Structure 1
Amino acid sequence: MQEIQENIKDINGFNVHYIPNQKYKTLTVVLKLRAPLDRDTITKRALLPYVLKQGTKQYPSKQELQIKLDDLYGASLSIDGAKKGENHIISVRLDIANQKFLAGDSSVFEEGLQLLYDVLFNPNVDDQGFNKSIFTREKETLKQKNLSLKDDKMSYANLRLIDEMCKGEPYAIHVHGYLDDLEKITPVSLFSYYQQVVANDQIDIYVQGDLSEENMEKTIKKVFQQANKNQPRLKHKDLNERHVSKTDVIPKEIVETDKVQQAKLHIGYRTNVTFGEPAYYALHVLNGIFGGFPSSKLFINVREKNSLAYYAASRMESHKGLLFVFSGIAPEDFEKARDIIKKQMEAMKQGDFTSQNIAEAKAVITNQLLETFDSPQGTIEFLYQQVLANKKITPLHFVEQLNKVTKEEIVAVAKRLQEDTTYLLTAEKGDSHE
């Protein structure tokens, strides 16, 4: 595995991450805006990307913005919001042709960067805040998104699991906001919140591709000079010094009914381990053996041997310190499936797995990591995890530490796991609807 080069500089008050890469004929620029999850502002924050991607002051409609992107040799631009641990991240991404491979056109990167800048810092606003017709339309789009959350029963069950498991913690805050709050937002109040975001969010800029650092730095300085804010921004430690878990865990069970044929059985564990900690590598291998891959204990024992699940798997939340089990079962098999899932976790704590299981998990995780670095987006996401955790971990170091993990370390980290919440979404009595 080749090491990834990343040079970080403070340019105009922004953390700029330069990642030279000669593999691609495109350049990728990603802006990451980070703030603590906040129940009072999350709905505005969820709405913001919907509105911002509809146009800028210079290109005030989605159509005009798209025409400009097409003029830039088919560039693409996207904005979305996500939850990482107890932070909310807005990502603004631009993929654009590298001017190095375009005869006679040396301004493409600067024009693309200017467009990216304008989407975030020069939005389509007037003295009444955001453009009213765009605001109203996108507010309805987010409303429909929230109303449709229950249609995907697996995602809904996970949402409800987190509601119950993390009650009173920032991590329980819904990433798409809340309908009651959405009704109260106006173009003016959203613009007021937007001004807080661009002034106070921790902003990291990633530039990846076959571009000289000198050219990158010169262009960033030129385009972003107007956004050099005097206000102090949140520093990494301000966002990382937040409680990520709790120790007083009393397991609880929540059962809810709906018009479903296939019940959703989800279980949440507190790992008490987060990204970058020494035990994180053992936790990664544990997850692979337990439920991360098709050869895992959950898949083999719950689905194949006992035919109790349509699917059964697990995944980690690396920055909050959680591990989730997902399974789709027949409603009448709840107790059996639950007990077998818990037996698999107990087996991990007892060391009931082989050296071959460990080797297979390490190989699959390593391959997944290599696939991650096969794309600019994957590379940037891995590097940004280091910002979130405030820990420097190179890909090479990650793989080296992963391959050093022993059976004893896996058992030790398994014993740190605490069962927190079991959530079942099952059929109403006599109901046979999907």
Structure 2
Amino acid sequence: MLPVQKDQVAANGLLAFLLTRASREYPDFTKLAQRLAELYGASLNADVSKLGDVQVLSISATGLSDRLTLNGEKISEALANLLCSVLFNPLLENGQFPRESFLQEQRQTLEMLDAEYNDKRIYAKQRCEELMCAEEPYGVGRCGTKEQIAALSREDLLPAWKRLVETARIEVMAMGDCNTTRIYELFCQAVAGLARGEVRHCTTENVAAARTVKNEVESMDVAQSKLVMGFRTGIAIPDSRLSAAKLMCTIFGGTPHSKLFLNVREKLSLCYYCSSQLNSMKGIMLVQSGVETKNIERAKEEILAQLQQMKDGDFSEDDIIAAKKSLCNSYKTLADSLGGLESWYLSQTFASTVRSPEESAAEINAVTKEEIVEAARLVSLDTVYSLIGKEGSAQ
């Protein structure tokens, strides 16, 4: 984990994917793939994301449970060693990352950004966040811009790797049927051999309330217009009122029983879809909708009207019960996938107290209507982004 910095995110993002291609121990993609095959078809993956104003570079290995191996092999230990190999002993040629590997990952990263641009729902959400947080680190894309990626040279990657191993905050997560103690020991041994400096402090700037409302309209040749409204909630990790804010967002637009779905979409037919999502790290709430161009203003007015009803306490006990059940069920299903648990505990690294999904469900169930109303009254409109397209069928 590293603080989001505009001049470093592109190199950091590309580096995460590049590291999974080879290491000194496995000096080409074929040898690395062969090793994964030997480990009962294990997989090695990379991802880049943001947690608030923090850039998260994730490299993960997934494999068979130790107890299911044919000859008692310690798959979890082997995967831990493999991760240490690609992270801390990368393959270098003449003191730089291999040119061909760099060029391939650069091309694939550009293609990934193109795919996000072509998905206008994703694009509209990202544009609203960029506009909303233009003066904050969060306004920078998780991998930077296409121009930044294209401008990189392979000589930029080695300094980025050194910066990573010397100053990044390192979190090790071991999940599933494995020897977590041994995995921790192996990573401690690997890190002990690094030239670690002062670990960079990872914090997130949270703006309590909108100062002014920003409006932007963009035109493209798309079949369905998009309306994204960004709100400041004044509540973010580690605020004790976060459970109330989550319930407020869920009743407002988080489920098929929510105000936005039942009224803006179903009753008034103003949107093809309309939902709200809370970013607990940044304390911002986005309302995303797909609309016909002629209905944008009406949809915006009705979304704000439904928010005002939340502030006025105009929702029932049944609404609260349904929202609590929805959130608690989502916490229960986290255990169904290792990826879900990983995401949960990764976000918990910035909380004042690490809570399990079960503990958080208990907190949700203890929230009162008055606390939900109080959370709603803190919400303020910050940014309205409209992507205007031609009339037509939903895309």
Query: Could you say which TM-score interval applies, normalised by the shorter chain?
Result: over 0.9
**1: CA distance, partners of 2:354 / 2:119:** 37
**1:48-102 per-position Cα deviation (integer Å, ceiling 9, x unaligned):** 1221122222223333222211110111111110011110101111112222332
**1: CA distance, partners of 2:277 / 2:336:** 22
For 1:5, the equivalent position in structure 2 comes to: none
Q: TM-score, normalised by structure 2?
A: 0.94
Do the aligned partners of residues 417 and 205 (structure 1) sit closer, same or farther apart at CA in structure 2, a change above 3 Å counting? same
SS in 2 for 1:45: helix
Shift of 1:263: 0.6
Do the aligned partners of residues 183 and 299 (structure 1) sit closer, same or farther apart at CA in structure 2, a change above 3 Å counting? same
Asked whether the equivalents of residues 254 and 277 of structure 2 are also in contact (C-alpha less than 8 Å), the reply is yes
**2: CA distance, partners of 1:433 / 1:299:** 17
Residue 82 (structure 2) aligned to one of 115, 126, 129 = 115
Residue 127 (structure 1) aligned to one of 94, 111, 136 = 94
1:246-325 matched pairs, under 5 angstroms: 246-325=208-287
1:35-434 matched pairs, under 5 angstroms: 35-212=2-179, 214-221=181-188, 224=190, 227-234=193-200, 238-240=201-203, 242-427=204-389
Identity of aligned residues (%): 29
Shift of 1:433: 11
Shift of 1:260: 1.6
SS in 1 for 2:363: helix
SS in 1 for 2:33: helix
SS in 1 for 2:261: helix
**2: CA distance, partners of 1:126 / 1:166:** 40
Shift of 1:201: 0.4
Of 144-153 and 45-54, more deviation after overlay is shown by 144-153
**1: CA distance, partners of 2:308 / 2:29:** 53
**1:260-296 per-position Cα deviation (integer Å, ceiling 9, x unaligned):** 2211011000011012322111111111111111111
Asked whether the equivalents of residues 128 and 187 of structure 1 are also in contact (C-alpha less than 8 Å), the reply is no
**2: CA distance, partners of 1:191 / 1:185:** 12
Do the aligned partners of residues 300 and 198 (structure 1) sit closer, same or farther apart at CA in structure 2, a change above 3 Å counting? same
Do the aligned partners of residues 73 and 57 (structure 1) sit closer, same or farther apart at CA in structure 2, a change above 3 Å counting? same
**1:120-153 per-position Cα deviation (integer Å, ceiling 9, x unaligned):** 1112212241100111121122223333432111
SS in 1 for 2:174: strand
Q: Which amino acid aligns with 1:155?
A: I
Asked whether the equivalents of residues 209 and 379 of structure 2 are also in contact (C-alpha less than 8 Å), the reply is no
**2: CA distance, partners of 1:356 / 1:274:** 26
**1:281-330 per-position Cα deviation (integer Å, ceiling 9, x unaligned):** 11111111111111111111111101111111110111011000000011
Shift of 1:215: 3.8
**2: CA distance, partners of 1:329 / 1:230:** 51
Q: TM-score, normalised by structure 1?
A: 0.86
Greater strand share, structure number: 1
Q: Which amino acid aligns with 1:239?
A: C
Asked whether the equivalents of residues 264 and 303 of structure 2 are also in contact (C-alpha less than 8 Å), the reply is yes
**2: CA distance, partners of 1:89 / 1:101:** 32
**1: CA distance, partners of 2:6 / 2:180:** 40
Of 408-417 and 93-102, more deviation after overlay is shown by 93-102
Structure 1 residues without counterparts, runs of 5 or longer: 1-33
Q: Which amino acid aligns with 1:39?
A: K
Shift of 1:184: 3.0
Q: Which amino acid aligns with 2:266?
A: E
Do the aligned partners of residues 432 and 306 (structure 1) sit closer, same or farther apart at CA in structure 2, a change above 3 Å counting? closer
**1: CA distance, partners of 2:118 / 2:70:** 50
Shift of 1:211: 3.6
Q: Which amino acid aligns with 1:284?
A: K
Do the aligned partners of residues 402 and 299 (structure 1) sit closer, same or farther apart at CA in structure 2, a change above 3 Å counting? same
**1: CA distance, partners of 2:392 / 2:336:** 46
